Chain A
Amino acid sequence: MPLDEKIQEALGRVAKAPIPTDREASLFDAGVIDSFALVDFVSDLENEFGIKVPDSDLLPTKFESLAKIAAYLSGHGAA
């Protein structure tokens, strides 16, 4: 499954609003995730992609859009 689809699937488990089609759109502004859903989402990404997000990467800006999430995961060996 392509990376974007996997991310959307994970997002779908916590989403509170429709996921924007624009990959650059803010998931926070679109109401897809709030602070607490973000905690769940990052935890889900760790399990789903077998990565560990270190404390130093716990920044909402790294996970605020589909494009940024994909870039982060690609940079950490997820495919």
Chain B
Amino acid sequence: MSALAGFGHSLPSGLLTNESLATEFHVTAEWIVSMCGIETRHAVAPGETVCDLAERAAAACLRNAGITPDKLGAIIACTGTPHRQFPGVSAEVQKRLNAPGIPAFDLHLASISGLYGVALANRMCEQWGPTLVVAAETMTRVMAQEPRAKETAILFGDGAGACLVTPGNTPLAIRDIRVVSDATFSEALRLDFASTLQMDGRTIIMHAVRKLARAVSELLERNSLRADQVGLFVFHQANLRLLERLMQELKISRDQCFINIDKYGNTSSASWLIAASEARAAGLLQAGMKVVVAAFGAGLSWGAALVEVTEGAFA
């Protein structure tokens, strides 16, 4: 049995507004909001790297969890936008945290990698000890590659989120977690070397809605829960319209969902971790509350987790 013992997140100070994108693509800011519900995104500055974001989120997470880097048992860095081929973001985070002598590696799975990281840490932390899962992305750099398409350029932002997975069942017990990949439609969402993102949006949305809804429904069924017994749903923040469709499919209310895509856009692997970190900071993780996390991304890969606040409010 393992638990989430802390969250942290980091966002670069630069902003990418709808107004600037609207000017570039000859559309209106209102059109952008209507397409994806995003008002603004954060963007790295020249010279700022994915490692900077990862380091800040990791440090915030460890502060929140109340442990020092020398107590870490492993580091898993999750990103689809590493600063180089190798060594990965994990090596840089390990160096900057000064946590040598423990496993440190990258998961290169884009949007789903944060959830994969937690699923892996959930299995391994009894052996490794407290495992830092940090997801960081500089998606605006990817989207800066030509040719830029408005349909994708409006979606993405930069950011990092982190959580600490520890043996035990407090404060946020991981009750169930399952991740899946199926490469049948792998070409529908891909990032080739020195290229911009290639996304067949229609295919991706069809599969995202169906697979996320199914993953959550099966998770609830396995745990004999109804959707109305879940206090909070934290989904990968891909597109507000997708989230709304998912709410409709699962028959859950907007009040049950933590949504921050309007402020940050789609930050890929970091998105649900940033959302979870903000939900904790806002005092939303109340004693006894059941929380469902679900994510979807390239691969295609998807998954869902059930966690429960086991002692007092997790704040």
Contacts and interface: CB of A to CB of B under 8 A. Distances in A.
B184 A35 contact: no
Interface in B9-36: none
Contacts, number: 35
Contacts of B209: 39
Contacts of A32: none
A35 B205 CA distance: 7
Chain B's interface size range is 10 to 19
B202 interface: yes
B195 interface: no
A41 to B, nearest CB: 10
A36 B241 contact: yes
A58 B211 CA distance: 11
A36 to B, nearest CB: 5
Interface in B187-205: 200-203, 205
B245 interface: yes
Contacts of A35: 201-202, 205-206
A42 B206 CA distance: 9
B207 interface: yes
B63 to A, nearest CB: 40
Interface string B168-192: 0000000000000010110000000
B203 A39 contact: no
Nearest to B242: A36
B206 to A, nearest CB: 5
B245 A58 contact: no
Q: What 9 A-B pairs come out closest when comparing CB atoms? A: A60-B202, A35-B205, A58-B206, A35-B202, A39-B209, A35-B201, A36-B241, A58-B207, A39-B206
Interface in B102-135: none
Interface in A18-49: 28, 35-36, 38-39, 42
Nearest to B207: A58
A20 B265 CA distance: 35
A38 B206 contact: yes
Interface string A7-20: 00000000000000
Given A38-B202, A38-B205, A58 B210 contact: yes
